[in-house]
Amino acid sequence: MPVGAPQEDQVNLMELVQVLRAGWKPIAAAAVALAVISAAYVSFVAVPIYTASAVVMLDTRKPQAVDFAGMVNGLTGDSAELNTEVEVIRSRGLAQKVVEKLDLVSDPEFNTSLREPGLIGKMLGALRDAQPPSAERQLESTVSNLLTAVTVKNQPSSYVFAISVTSEDPQKAKLLADTLADTYIVNQIEMKFDATEQATEWLANRVSTLKLELEAAEEKVKAFNTQTSLVSAETLTLLEAQLKDLRERLGATERERDAAVDRLAQLEAQTDPVERLKLANDAQMSDLARRLDRGEAGVTAEDLAARYDQVVARARLDVARLKDQAAALERSRQALSAQISSQGDDQIKLQQLTREAEASRALYEYFLSRLKESSAQQGIQQADSRVLSAAVRPQFPTAPRKKLVVVMATLLGALIGVGAVLGRHMMRSGFRSARELEDEIGGVVMGQIPLVEGADRGAILAYLRDKPASAAMEAIRNLRTSVLLSNVDKPPQVILSTSSLPGEGKTTNSLGLAMNLVGIGKSVLLIEGDIRRNTLGQYFPQFEKRPGLVSLLSGRATLETVVAHDDSIGLSLIMGERSAVNAADLFMSDAWKSLVEELRTRFNYIIIDTPPVLVVPDARIIASSADAVLFTVKWDDTSRGQLQEAVSMFETVNQPITGFVLAQIDPERMKAYGYGGKYGRYGAYASYGSKYYVE
């Protein structure tokens, strides 16, 4: 895998568990700290709070003193009304009545302006130059504080309310709960009384108005009866019957008149004697005609014509008479129709006035009845609720709940500790196992070296020398084996040891590897490649003033005078020494290359401890003369970014890194993280090696 290749995002639960297990100390410390703080707070700082509760029941079944619906209806008890009553109990108006009744404005518990301000309050008051709040503002604040202490709950599936009030004084809590319940019930009665009184007053005004309207309506009926000659309804019916009979007579007369007019016209138009005789239909004229036909003496045609003229004259008289009769009947009909129409209009007007008077009377009587009912109800109003049980003086405080507070604080502290541990874990960029390191860089981890404890570098050297069977030396032996077998055909002779930054353990690793190689009977030379710091001088202070590498390369000293030998460990050394000469130029010189070639002939193995890669370029230059490059990574410290940058620097000069060393492993922490047993995982099964290590 190439350096810096992105890892697939996934959540490893076992890894998180191991991280939390490794960080149990800060988690426990945070939990204990918050537990102690909370216990101290609830024991010595927090003010105990007492809660008293009065129980009120909404009574929806009320006996009626009189058998009529009240002007102000009672509650039905549906969910909306129950919720409304809860809000009424918690209303500012009701709370203000309690404040005024108990004079809570004078109580520092509810009127915070009466309390002695703390240090911060005094400082803020001095900065603001605040004036004391007005009486109105103190009242509003006291009401708000009381409402904060009030809790109203409706018991499920019931008409019962629990009115709870908290206070620093148990007796005060009981008094407040009872007073609030009583005030709520009295408020219901007062509201009903006020509503009834307002309704009574409105009804009284309405009744007076309706009475005047009724009197005015009746006066209109009376005045109309006086001003008009009205007949009764029965008489009007008879007149209508007369009008019908008159219309029938008029019709018959008009038909008779028309027939008479037609007969007169026929009589006047006829000239034939025979036809005249038939039309006349007169007995006398018929007798004269028979006598004339018999030829009786004294009867002439003139007599017959004279008689016909009489018949026509009589017909004219009949027509005139019938016309007069029809005209008279028509006049009578018109007069009677006009009389009936006038009487009908007056009757309708009278009926309308009468109905209006009756409606006014009914409305007046209804409101008068409601006025009497309302007046009767003013003295019998009842509240919709009643106190089911008065509050009891609490014996024990309800807050703070010490055990719960301590437990919750402990849990909170543990959560804070867990958050801190996980946050630190998520933010970490170091490596805790060889697998992590190999996955990151795509290289081979040749060694995993535990942290060697020591007060100073001399103590570390003594540890490595005196405890060859220790876990650290066993891990270095594994490193030695891996290095020597890295190239079977041509085992590396010149080995370079470097790291990203100082303090990552490369010098200790170089020294331990050199001592291990000496242990198998090889001649080994350890060269201080970091001439700027002269770290080996802290391990071997007896050689610190000895001529070093710079003197050798500059020709001021010979190899025999520069090489130091420590008989206690059988190791040869070339110390570093400070110089104004540029180290990079020094290691790029032919003298350096010649020196390396000469040393190859004198020693079996040459180990060069170089400066950090990210600080100076010396290591990359020296690497060109080495057979193997060991790169030390400090366990759980060297960041991925630092490692990637350092490895990239080697890649730019085409110098491969032979292997990596995970150094300064903390055994206990590594075990906590789940990477190994007692001594950490320094090999595939190194956790089983505790029986083989001698510390």
Report the alpha-carbon distance of residue 111 to residue 138 in Å, rounded. 7
What's the mean pLDDT in 563-579?
A: 90
Report the alpha-carbon distance of residue 477 to residue 515 in Å, rounded. 10
Encoded tokens for 479:
């490193």
**pLDDT of 120:** 64
- Burial class (CB within 10 angstroms; exposed 0-12, middle 13-18, buried 19+) of 16: middle
> Is residue 1 pLDDT above 50, yes or no?
no
Contact 53, 160 (CB under 8 A): no
> Is residue 48 pLDDT above 80, yes or no?
yes
**pLDDT of 379:** 59
Nearest Cα neighbor of 108 from 120, 117, 100 is 117
356 vs 674 pLDDT, higher one:
356
What's the mean pLDDT in 451-462?
A: 83
**pLDDT of 672:** 63
Q: What are phi and psi of 154, to 5 degrees?
A: -90, 120
**pLDDT of 85:** 86
Q: Give per-residue pLDDT as tens, 150-208.
A: 999 988 888 898 999 999 999 999 999 999 999 998 888 888 777 777 888 888 888 88
Percentage of residues of the chain with pLDDT beyond 90: 32
Q: Give per-residue pLDDT as tens, 619-666.
A: 999 999 999 999 999 998 898 899 999 999 999 888 899 999 999 998
The count of residues in the chain is 695
Q: Give per-residue pLDDT as tens, 199-208.
A: 888 888 888 8
**pLDDT of 600:** 95
Q: Domain extents for the chain?
A: 11-46+401-427, 233-377, 430-691
What's the mean pLDDT in 28-48?
A: 87
**pLDDT of 71:** 47
Q: Assess if CATH 3.40.50.300 describes domain 430-691.
A: yes
> Is residue 100 pLDDT above 80, yes or no?
yes
The Cα angle at residue 326 between residues 324 and 327, in degrees rounded to 5:
65
Q: Give per-residue pLDDT as tens, 464-517.
A: 888 888 888 899 999 999 999 988 888 999 999 999 999 899 999 999 999 999
- Burial class (CB within 10 angstroms; exposed 0-12, middle 13-18, buried 19+) of 181: buried
**pLDDT of 77:** 59
Q: Which residues contact 530 (CB under 8 A, 6 or more apart)?
A: 576, 609, 610, 611, 618
**pLDDT of 612:** 93
> Is residue 2 pLDDT above 60, yes or no?
no
What's the mean pLDDT in 223-249?
A: 77
Nearest Cα neighbor of 7 from 674, 20, 15, 661 is 15
What's the mean pLDDT in 506-533?
A: 91
- Burial class (CB within 10 angstroms; exposed 0-12, middle 13-18, buried 19+) of 466: exposed
253 vs 74 pLDDT, higher one:
253
Contact 564, 546 (CB under 8 A): yes
State the CB neighbour count (10 A cutoff) for residue 651: 12
Report the alpha-carbon distance of residue 77 to residue 63 in Å, rounded. 16
Q: How far is CA 135 from CA 104, 117, 379, in A?
A: 12, 19, 37
- The pTM of the full predicted model, rounded to 2 decimals, is 0.53
In sign, the C-alpha dihedral spanning 678, 681, 683, 684 is: positive
> Which segments within 459-530 are labelled E, that is strand?
494-499, 524-528
Amino acid at the residue 631:
F
Q: Which residues contact 645 (CB under 8 A, 6 or more apart)?
A: 500, 614
Q: Which residues contact 439 (CB under 8 A, 6 or more apart)?
A: 1, 7
Report the alpha-carbon distance of residue 600 to residue 559 in Å, rounded. 13
Percentage of residues of the chain with pLDDT beyond 70: 88
